[in-house]
Structure 1
Amino acid sequence: MTLVYGFMCFSAIASIAMHFRERAAQALERFRSSNSLRKLLLSSLTAPLIVGCGFGGGGFDGVDAQRAKPFQRYDLVQAIASNGVTVVAASQAGSVIVSDDQGRAWRRHAIGGGMVDLATCPDGRFVGIDFQGRGWVGDSKGQQWDSIALSEPVPAISAACDTRGRWWVTGAHAQVAMSPDFGATWTLIDLSRDADDAQLTSIQMVDESHGFIVGEFGFVFGTTDGGENWTHIGTIDGDFYPYAVAFVSREEGFASGLAGQVVRTTDGGVSWAPVPNVTGVSFYRLVRAGNEVFGVGGGGVVARLSESGVTPVAYPDAMPVPLTSVASLGPDRQALVVGGPGGFSRVVSTEEAGS
C-alpha cells in the first residue's frame, strides 16, 4: 500500500510539474499579456500546492503517529527563516513549525495564517506575510506571533528585514511598504511610474545602504541610501520573469526565473548575463549563505550558483518534490534547511567534498 500510495503521489507531482512547465512555455509566448502571467506567478510562487501527499505508511496504526508529527502530510512548507538559533518553517495550513537545534527536532504552533514569506531581523525576531493582507511578527523563539493588517501591497509577495530592523514588503501594483516599528506604522513607496502595475516578486537588503528589488517583466530597482530612494537601474532581458533574487555583495547577485532561467550581475543589477543551468529546473527560492548563493526548486533539486553555472548539491533522503523554501543555518554552519509539499523538510550540508 505504501509503495502504491507513494507512486500515486509522485505521479501527481510529475503531472503538476509538467503542467507548470507547459504553462511557463505558454507564458513566454505571450509574455506581455500580464493578467494570465500574473496568475501563473501567484500559482508558481506558492507552487505547487500539493496537499495530502504523505510519505509514511498506511493503515489505522499509523494515524496517531502521523498526527503527533510536527510536519503533517497536508503541509506545504512555503517559507523558512533562521536567526542563527531558531529555525521557523511556515505551512500554508496556518501553522509554524519551529526548531531550536538546527533542524534536528521540531515543534508545531498553530497561528491561524499561512505565511508565504519569512525574514529575520537583527534582534532575532521574525517577520512574515500571507496572501490575505496580513503581516506577522514572531518573537526570537518563534513561539508568540501577532498579525498586522496590511493595506498595501495586497497581495504581498516578498518580505525582508534590513540591518536597522526595518521591515520591507513588496507585492502587487509596483508597491513597496516599509515599517520601522514592526508594523505599527508604514511608509508606502510607489514604483509604478517606472514599473506600471508590475508585481514586485523579491526584495533583499544587502547592507545598511544597498538593496535590490526584482519584478515582473524583469524590472530591477536598487537603493544606495537605505531605501529612502529607489531607482530603476536595469531590466533583465530575455523575457525574464523572476521568482527570486539573492546578492552576496552590493555588486554581485543572482536571479532565478521561469523555465529554469538563472542570471547573474556583477555591476549592482545594471546588466545581467545568463548562467548555465544543467539541472533544467526552475529555482523558486534563492538564499545567500556566507559568500555563496544556493537555489531550491523542481524535482527536489538543491544547487550552488556560481559564475560557471549551476551545480547540484546531493543530500540524503532526497525526493523528487518541488522545493518551495530554504534558509541558511547561519555563517558558522555550512548547511541549509529546505522544505516543500507533504511536510517535506531536510537539513542539507553545503560543505564541498575535500574542503
Structure 2
Amino acid sequence: MQRRQLLLAGFGAMAAGGPASADDLLDRPARPSALADKRLITGIARAGQRLVAVGQRGHVVVSDDGGRRWIQAGVPVSVDLTAVYFADERNGYATGHDGVVLGSRNGGDSWTRLLDGRQANALVLAQMERRAAAPGATEQDGKLLDEARRNSESGPDKPFLDVFFVDADHGFVVGAYGLVLRTMDGGRNWESWFDRVDNPGLLNLYAVRAAGGAHYIAGEAGLLLKLERGGERFRALPAPGKGSFFGLLATLAGVLGVGMRGSAFLSTDDGASWAAIATGLSASVVGGAVAADGTVVLIDQGGGIVLSRDGGRSFAASGLRSQMPLATVAFSGNAALALGGPRGLRTLELTAKDKP
C-alpha cells in the first residue's frame, strides 16, 4: 500500500493518551482540536459551494469561504478517515480505518456512523457462508469464505479507501484486500460484493467512480474493473500496465486513471482501451479533481501540480507547486485549489496563465 504509507501513517491509529484498540476508536467521538485543519488531511470534496475535508483521528472540517477558514464538524469516531464524497450539497459520505463509513445529511456539519469493521466483517462472512453452501459453489467461493473467516477473527482492522455515490441513496465503498460493499438506501443497509469482483488475488482497491454511466474500480498492480451491463459484477478490464492506480476521474473526454510514478491512462471508449498520457509529474499521482468547466488538475506526492483543458488528453505544467507533500485536491471555484496533505490544508490561487 505505497500510497497509504504516506497518507495514513500506518494502520494502528494512536489516541492522545497512548495506544487505543479499534473498538475504542470506533466508539470514541473525535476530539475538538484547534489543529484539525493543520494535521494530516486525506480527502477533500465539494458540497455545493462548501468544501469538506477529512483526515487524521476522525477530523472533519468544513469551509464556506473557499478554504480560508475551516470549522471542525462533529464526528462519532476517532479513526483516521481516508476519503469523502458528496452526492449533492447536503448528502455526503466518508470512509476510514477499521471499516468505518460515515454519513452526513447537512452538508458536513455533523456525521453519523453508518458502518464499521465489526458489522462489515459479519456481513461478508454471512454472505460467503451462504455462497459456499449453495449449489454450484466453486473453489474460489471456498477461498473467499476462508478469507472472510480470517478477517472476522482478526477484528475490524481493514480500512475502506474510497467511496462513491451516484445519488443520495446508491453507492459503493471499496478498500483493502478486495473489500466492496454496496448500499441502495443511503447507508442504512449494506450488501457485501466480496464475491462479485474479478480480483482473485484480493488486491487492495483504491478508487471507485462512475464515468459515462458506468462504474469503475481501480487498485493495485494495474487492476481496473468495470461494472458489467447487468449490474451484478465488476469485471476485469485489460490492464495498461502493472503499476498501481490510486485514483479515477470522470472527465469530458472519458475516464482517467492515475497512479505510480506520475502515470495516467485515459479511456475514451468506456474502458475498452487505455492510452498512456504524459503528465509531466515524477512522483506518484495521489489525487485529482475536475472543475465545473471541465478543467482537470492532478497532484503528486511531492507537491507537483498539472492542469488539462481537454479532458485529460494532455497536461501542461502549471505555475503552481506546493511547498508541502500532497494527498488530495479540490477546486475552490474555477480560480483556486484547496490542497491537503500531511501538514494540513492550504489554498492556492491559479496563476493568470492557468485560469480559464
Query: What TM-score bracket applies, with the shorter chain setting the length?
Result: 0.7 to 0.9
1:107 corresponds to 2:109: no
- Name the CA distance, whole Å, in 2 between partners of 1:47 and 1:259: 20
1:59 alignment counterpart: none
- Name the CA distance, whole Å, in 2 between partners of 1:47 and 1:262: 25
Range moving further from structure 2, 305-314 or 237-246: 305-314
- Name the CA distance, whole Å, in 2 between partners of 1:311 and 1:259: 17
Identify the match of residue 232 of structure 1 among 217, 230, 235. 235
- AA of the residue aligned to 1:115: L
Are the aligned partners of 2:266 and 2:277 in contact in 1 as well (CA < 8 Å)?
A: yes
- AA of the residue aligned to 1:311: A
Identify the match of residue 216 of structure 2 among 205, 212, 218. 212
1:294 alignment counterpart: 297
Identify the match of residue 144 of structure 1 among 110, 117, 125. 110
Are the aligned partners of 1:322 and 1:341 in contact in 2 as well (CA < 8 Å)?
A: yes
Are the aligned partners of 1:76 and 1:93 in contact in 2 as well (CA < 8 Å)?
A: no
Are the aligned partners of 1:233 and 1:269 in contact in 2 as well (CA < 8 Å)?
A: no
Residues 185 and 273 (structure 1), Cα distance of their counterparts in 2 relative to 1, 3 Å cut: same
Residues 234 and 114 (structure 1), Cα distance of their counterparts in 2 relative to 1, 3 Å cut: same
Residues 193 and 184 (structure 1), Cα distance of their counterparts in 2 relative to 1, 3 Å cut: closer
Corresponding residue SS for 2:237: strand
- Name the CA distance, whole Å, in 2 between partners of 1:194 and 1:310: 32
- Name the CA distance, whole Å, in 1 between partners of 2:172 and 2:323: 33
1:340: Cα distance to partner? 1.2
Question: What is the RMSD computed on CA atoms of the aligned residues?
Answer: 3.0
2:37 alignment counterpart: 71
2:53 alignment counterpart: 89
- Name the CA distance, whole Å, in 2 between partners of 1:47 and 1:302: 23
Are the aligned partners of 1:103 and 1:347 in contact in 2 as well (CA < 8 Å)?
A: no
1:275 alignment counterpart: 277
In structure 2, stretches of 5+ residues that fail to align are 12-32, 125-157
Corresponding residue SS for 2:343: helix
1:323: Cα distance to partner? 0.9
Corresponding residue SS for 2:319: coil
Residues 320 and 185 (structure 1), Cα distance of their counterparts in 2 relative to 1, 3 Å cut: same
Identify the match of residue 172 of structure 1 among 172, 176, 196. 176
* TM alignment of 1:175-324, pairs within 5 A: 175-191=179-195, 194-196=198-200, 197-206=202-211, 209-223=213-227, 228-248=231-251, 252-290=254-292, 291-305=294-308, 309-315=314-320, 318-324=321-327
2:166 alignment counterpart: 162
Are the aligned partners of 1:298 and 1:320 in contact in 2 as well (CA < 8 Å)?
A: no
Are the aligned partners of 2:48 and 2:88 in contact in 1 as well (CA < 8 Å)?
A: no
1:101: Cα distance to partner? 2.1
1:339 alignment counterpart: 340
Q: Runs of at least 4 residues of structure 1 off by over 6 A?
A: none
1:127: Cα distance to partner? 0.4
Identify the match of residue 5 of structure 2 among 43, 47, 50. 43
- Name the CA distance, whole Å, in 2 between partners of 1:336 and 1:258: 22
Corresponding residue SS for 1:299: coil
Deviations 1:244-275 (A, max 9, x none): 111215x6122111122222222112221221
Residues 231 and 203 (structure 1), Cα distance of their counterparts in 2 relative to 1, 3 Å cut: same
1:22 alignment counterpart: none
1:190: Cα distance to partner? 2.9
- Name the CA distance, whole Å, in 1 between partners of 2:226 and 2:354: 36
Are the aligned partners of 2:91 and 2:168 in contact in 1 as well (CA < 8 Å)?
A: no
Are the aligned partners of 2:61 and 2:72 in contact in 1 as well (CA < 8 Å)?
A: yes
Are the aligned partners of 1:201 and 1:243 in contact in 2 as well (CA < 8 Å)?
A: yes
Are the aligned partners of 1:94 and 1:110 in contact in 2 as well (CA < 8 Å)?
A: no
In structure 1, stretches of 5+ residues that fail to align are 1-37, 50-66
- Name the CA distance, whole Å, in 2 between partners of 1:126 and 1:101: 19
- Name the CA distance, whole Å, in 2 between partners of 1:231 and 1:254: 18
1:56 alignment counterpart: none
Residues 106 and 268 (structure 1), Cα distance of their counterparts in 2 relative to 1, 3 Å cut: same
Residues 170 and 324 (structure 1), Cα distance of their counterparts in 2 relative to 1, 3 Å cut: same
- Name the CA distance, whole Å, in 1 between partners of 2:71 and 2:197: 45
Residues 352 and 224 (structure 1), Cα distance of their counterparts in 2 relative to 1, 3 Å cut: farther
- Name the CA distance, whole Å, in 2 between partners of 1:76 and 1:228: 36
